[in-house]
Amino acid sequence: MNGVCALVTGASRGVGRGIAQGLYRAGATVYASGRSIETADLDDAIVRVACDHSDDQSVDRLFERIVTEQGRLDVLVNNAWGGYENMVEDGRFTWSAPFWDQPLWRWAAMMDVGVRAAFVASQHAARLMMPCRRGLIVNVSQWAAQKYHGNVIYGVSKAATDKLTADMAVELRDHDVAVVSLYPGLVRTEAVLAAGVFDLSNSESPEFIGRAVAALAGDQDVCRWTGQVLVAAALAEHYGFADIDGRSPRPLTLTDV
């Protein structure tokens, strides 16, 4: 992946951090953005850019820096998300509340910081990729787009992400820019490990998701996937890579979640 320039949003921790690490270790020049990116556990050579993806001017400055320093962008990974904050409010776990009891701030956080942030970043990226007639936009999504997953707003936002992928792919197809939704499995993020309640026997490291993105970015025929939902572990089987511990997680399906 030498010569490839990538941007990973929401890379301060968890899946985003793992994707940034995976792309860097595959040889890409990586920009990692997020509100708390300065304290992220990332390789020193990864370019950290503090960015609030709910602030359009902050996003403008991020892309202006990439253009100034690199003159191009080959891969965008939209991982920035909102709505996970304050799951407990006034002593009550509101995340799993029925939709009629959901705080309205959570809708704004997921749709604006999540879906809208992906849309805005993709606008910037498309303008850079189209003249080169090559590029890859990856929207990190989840099975909640297709099946109830404990929170109506979460499901709506992830379904919107997958629709964003499908429709952007239509408009970018003639420019040879691929757009995909990527579903991780159970990822050993900091939050998952801290919870201590999950069966990790079929789990994935955050870096495993990075290897999936790196495999896509290195595929000269990546446009065959455009508009599709892809499962990280299924990509591992297709491209022949394993997790950082040498294991091969089993791909999940809709019936598994």
List pLDDT tens digits, range 61-76: 999 999 999 999 999 9
Q: What is the tens place of the pLDDT at every residue in 184-219? A: 998 998 877 877 878 889 999 999 999 999 999 999
Q: What is the band of 57 on the pLDDT scale with cuts at 50, 70, 90?
A: very high
Prediction pTM value: 0.96
Q: Does the structure show a pLDDT above 90 at 16?
A: yes
Q: For residue 1, what pLDDT is reported?
A: 77
Q: Does the structure show a pLDDT above 80 at 86?
A: no
Q: What is the band of 112 on the pLDDT scale with cuts at 50, 70, 90?
A: confident
* Three-class DSSP category at 37: helix
* CA distances, 193 to each of 15, 170, 206, 243 (Å): 13, 38, 12, 17
Instruction: Point out the catalytic residue in the list 24, 31, 154, 183.
Output: 154
Q: What is the DSSP letter of 38?
A: G
Q: For residue 136, what pLDDT is reported?
A: 98
The whole-angstrom separation of Cα 218 and Cα 197 is: 36
- Is 154 a catalytic site residue? yes
What the block records as the tokens of 133 is 């007639």
The whole-angstrom separation of Cα 134 and Cα 250 is: 31
Q: What is the tens place of the pLDDT at every residue in 221-239? A: 999 999 999 999 999 999 9
The whole-angstrom separation of Cα 248 and Cα 242 is: 5
Q: What is the band of 43 on the pLDDT scale with cuts at 50, 70, 90?
A: very high
Mean pLDDT within 1-12? 94
Mean pLDDT within 137-149? 97
The whole-angstrom separation of Cα 111 and Cα 59 is: 17
What the block records as the tokens of 138 is 């990856």
